[in-house]
């Protein structure tokens, strides 16, 4: 059986950052036929608390596979949008996952990403809300 690659762009949802950061997004797979199934097939969520200017934290990203078949996630990344005029997306930085994360059908697994807030982040970033986008690449082994 040939390997089918599912590239999973994400829908960005609101994330709260005011010394805590949480977010989740539903992702769609390119090679499934039903659009409604694609929207619900792979869901990423995560949170981190205690983030402050100059601080570093861990973002635990839970990867839920709602498909009826196993997936191998090979990449997870997170990006942010500007929170407000005074707090730009450059105030936060996220690590990325590259490797092999086997997620059984209708199960969840997690990866941990490094997240940091710039030491130079302005006060406008306190209790700010960022839009986050989760991106994942997975293959059906």
What residue segments make up the domains of the chain, in order of their start? 4-140
How does pLDDT run across 72-82, given as a tens digit for each residue? Answer: 999 999 998 89
Instruction: Tell me if residue 6 falls in helix, strand or coil.
Output: strand
CATH of 4-140, one of 2.60.40, 3.40.50, 3.30.70, 1.10.1060: 2.60.40
Rg (CA), the chain: 16
Mean pLDDT of 32-47: 60
Write the CB contacts of 91 (distance below 8 Å, at least 6 apart in sequence).
Answer: 83, 117, 118, 121, 122, 125
Chain mean position to CA 124: 24
Stretch among 44-48, 56-60, 94-98, 102-106 having the lowest mean pLDDT: 44-48
Write the CB contacts of 17 (distance below 8 Å, at least 6 apart in sequence).
Answer: 51, 83, 92, 117, 125, 127, 128, 129, 130
Mean pLDDT of 90-108: 96
Query: What is the Cα–Cα distance from 79 to 96, expressed in whole angstroms?
Result: 10
Nearest to 51 by CA among 12, 81, 94: 94
pTM of the predicted structure, to 2 decimals? 0.71
């Amino acid at each position: 059986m040939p390997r089918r690659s599912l590239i999973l762009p994400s829908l960005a949802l609101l994330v709260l950052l005011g010394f805590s950061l949480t977010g989740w997004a539903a992702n769609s797979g390119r090679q499934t036929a039903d659009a409604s199934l694609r929207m619900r097939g792979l869901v990423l969520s995560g949170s981190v608390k205690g983030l402050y200017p100059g601080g570093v934290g861990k973002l635990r990203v839970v990867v839920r596979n709602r498909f009826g078949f196993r997936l191998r996630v090979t990449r997870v990344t997170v990006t942010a949008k500007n929170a407000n005029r005074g707090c730009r997306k450059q105030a936060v930085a996220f690590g990325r996952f590259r490797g092999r994360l086997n997620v059984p059908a209708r199960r969840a697994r997690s990866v941990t990403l490094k997240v940091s807030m710039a030491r130079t982040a302005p006060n406008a970033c306190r209790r700010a809300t960022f839009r986050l986008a989760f991106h994942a690449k997975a293959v059906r082994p």
